[in-house]
Amino acid sequence: MAELTRLKIKASSLIEVVVAMVVMVITFGVGMMIYHNILRSGINLQNVKAEMLLSRIAEETVRSKSYFDEDIKEGELIVRKKVGKYQNSTSLLQLEIQVYSKEEKLLAEGNNLILVDE
């Protein structure tokens, strides 16, 4: 029993514990801000689908020569296609395509020039 009282255990002071906790909280806070920024600025799957749909509609329009305005509903996306003359030219058409979500938020848009065979 006499040997137990001679053994000293080194412990941390209250100030050291508080400083360690503050360092951990700051590190955790910075990590969460970085994680939030990555999630917010990352590529959204819906935007990728909208870009792919825009490309597909543009290709189909040129291939099928369907040069008229129309609204197309594709799943949860709405495509607005407008075709008009480009600067009063008879051989050039401007194809303007906009892709919206069901909440009417613009996800993607594109403009193409089409050479029309006369």
Q: Scan for tokens 């075709």, then name that residue.
A: 83
pLDDT of residue 96: 94
pLDDT means over runs of 10, the chain (118 residues): 65 87 97 89 81 92 89 91 88 92 90 84
Strands (E), the chain: 70-74, 77-85, 92-100, 106-115
Q: How far apart are CA 101 and CA 47, in angstroms?
A: 9
pLDDT of residue 1: 53
Q: Which among 77, 117, 115, 113 is positioned nearest to 96, based on CA atoms?
A: 113
Q: Which among 66, 74, 64, 114 is positioned nearest to 98, based on CA atoms?
A: 74
pTM above 0.75, yes or no: no
How many beta carbons lie within 10 A of that of residue 70, not counting itself? 12
